[in-house]
Each structure stands twice: as C-alpha cells, then as structure tokens.
Amino acid sequence: MPAPKGNINAMKNATRSTVRRLVVGEFPKQLNHVKIEGRKYRLALENAVLDAHGEVTITACHLIDTASSATVHAGICRWLLRQKISTMSTADILACSREMLRAKQARDIAVRQLKLDRDDRNVIDALYTTEPDPLDTHENRLQGGNAKQEGDQA
C-alpha cells in the first residue's frame, strides 16, 4: 500500500514533492546516524517554516539546506572526535572542534534568517500587557462605565 498523498517521509530525491527541498545525499555506512540526524533536522525545519510562513520559498529552501548541511558537518566532526580521537594530533582535535563550532554558528545564522520567532517581545510582557480599551474614556468612567457610544442601540 503506498503512502498517503502528500506524505514526504520516505522521499529521497524530492521529485514529486510540493515542498521545495534539496537532498542530503548518502554517506558511508559508519556515518548513517549523521545522515538520519540531518534528514530529521531538515524535515523539522521545513515543517517549522511551513507553520510559520505557510510555504517554503526558494530562499527558505536554501537556508534550510545550509542549516541541515551545517548540522551534518557538525555531526561528522562529532563522529571524528568520538571515533578517531586516539589517532588525532592535538592540532587535529582543535581543528575538528573549531569546525564543529563554525558549523553550528552557520546553522544558527541560517535558522535566524528564516525568521521563525513570533515576536521579539518577552512572552510574559505579551501576556500581561493590555491594549487600551477604546471605550474607556474619562466621560465613560464618570458615568459608571455604562455610557453608550452615539448611535448604539440597546
């Protein structure tokens, strides 16, 4: 039984997708978990962009690709540090950790450019700040708050 229409979970090349996307590609077997991490991250980011903006534009597609590629790059660096650290020189270890940091910074910049945040205001301020009531006038308060605007009928 085929997947439901619009389901993009098993896609590898995005030839029939209504969502614009670039492919992560294949990796050696020992880096399979990095590939999976990159694909999950890409899908989560695509969904976040769809929720926030209603579509994935060409620019957003490339920013998502940059962010997911940076995530994969950081994953490869992390794998190298876990698996090959005993054979690496101090300079290699420093270079690898520096590259991992740069990849994460590139990812953060790309995600920030997607403008997924709702508002720059503090959430607490947004919850407790009230907008002024247009009916709350000095005259209305003097009359006990029951004054009707002109033209209103009971």
The reply to whether 8 falls in a domain is: no
The reply to whether 3 falls in a domain is: no
- pLDDT attached to residue 27: 77
Query: Average pLDDT of 27-47?
Result: 90
The reply to whether 142 falls in a domain is: no
- pLDDT attached to residue 117: 81
Amino acid, res. 123: V
Lowest average pLDDT, out of 9-13, 57-61, 137-141, goes to 9-13
What is the model's pTM? Answer: 0.62
Closest by CA to 52, choosing from 105, 10, 126, 115, is 115
The reply to whether 18 falls in a domain is: no
Burial 117-135 (b: 16+ CB within 10 A, else e): eeeeeeeeeeeeeeeeeee
- pLDDT attached to residue 26: 73
Please provide the average confidence, as pLDDT, over all residues in the chain: 79
Asked if 49 and 19 count as a contact pair (C-beta separation under 8 A), the reply is no
The reply to whether 115 falls in a domain is: yes
The reply to whether 7 falls in a domain is: no
Asked if 103 and 70 count as a contact pair (C-beta separation under 8 A), the reply is yes
pLDDT of 120 higher than 60 = no
Count of other CB atoms within 10 angstroms of residue 100: 19
* Size of the chain, expressed as the number of residues it contains: 154
How many independent structural domains does the chain possess? 1
Domain that holds residue 68: 29-121
Burial 41-51 (b: 16+ CB within 10 A, else e): bbbebbeebee
The reply to whether 10 falls in a domain is: no
- pLDDT attached to residue 44: 92
